[in-house]
Amino acid sequence: MAPRGPGRVSVLLPTYNERDNLPLVVWLLVRTFSDSGIDFEIIIIDDGSPDGTQEVAQQLEKIYGSDKILLRPRARKLGLGTAYIHGMKYATGNFIVIMDADLSHHPKFIPEFIRKQQEGNFDIVSGTRYKGNGGVYGWDLKRKLISRGANFLTQVLLRPGASDLTGSFRLYRKEVLQKLMEKCVSKGYVFQMEMIVRARQLGFTIGEVPISFVDRVYGESKLGGNEIVSFLKGLLTLFATT
């Protein structure tokens, strides 16, 4: 049964060098929303990709219509948090979905997010790799250990009331996301974690849906040593200030 009455859903898709993945993820999104009878728009925030991602996005605008696909680029890489702030300026939906454009997040889970939101009237619904039948596919042992370790450390230090802190596949009420963005100061991978920690601080409610996370299909992973160091610094900062 299709979810009832979420109004319009705005999907924010930050991209950098995703020309191969973007047509596939957009097609899957359009099909998922159309099959579920959910009104939607997809806002592509490209940070000056040199691989032609913006040209692909322009073609997708022509194919699906500029009311459904909105390319809102920026001149260069400016970080994930500011990409969401930029995209929100153009969002007309009651709810906002944030997700990766590299096919690691399958749009088929979005109707489940909406169902969960309506069941519990949640402010946020977060996809979780660490609960129920959720999981990770395509990662080597090192990557799994880093993710599990980061999540474990976060749970111990911050007690956030959610099982997957570092994931970036979530549904927010638009006004809740706007309030959280005003509070969040982190960059990079810590940003997703801070969003949940601040949500708990502000008394927002969080529901969870188990998801399958699949490693990116095309292109290079953007997780490197610098990101891991930044994550640990950010975690300690949050521990000291929340």
Q: How far apart are CA 127 and CA 226, in angstroms?
A: 25
Angle between helices 225-241 and 190-201 (to 10 degrees): 20
Give CATH for domain 9-241: 3.90.550.10
Q: Considering only 5-9, 17-21, 116-120, 221-225, which range has the smallest mean pLDDT? A: 221-225
Query: Looking at residues 132-141, what average pLDDT do you find?
Result: 63
Say if residue 10's pLDDT is above 60: yes
pLDDT of residue 230: 64
Each domain of the chain, given as residue ranges in start order, spans 9-241
pLDDT of residue 139: 56
pLDDT confidence band for 165 (50 / 70 / 90): confident
% of the chain residues with pLDDT over 70: 73
pLDDT of residue 78: 78
The string of pLDDT tens digits covering residues 141-154 is 666 666 666 667 66
pLDDT of residue 27: 96
pLDDT confidence band for 155 (50 / 70 / 90): low
Highest mean pLDDT out of 116-125, 160-169, 214-223: 116-125
Q: Are 91 and 181 in contact (CB under 8 A)?
A: no
pTM (2 d.p.): 0.81
227 vs 35, residue with greater confidence: 35
Say if residue 90's pLDDT is above 70: yes
Q: Are 98 and 180 in contact (CB under 8 A)?
A: no
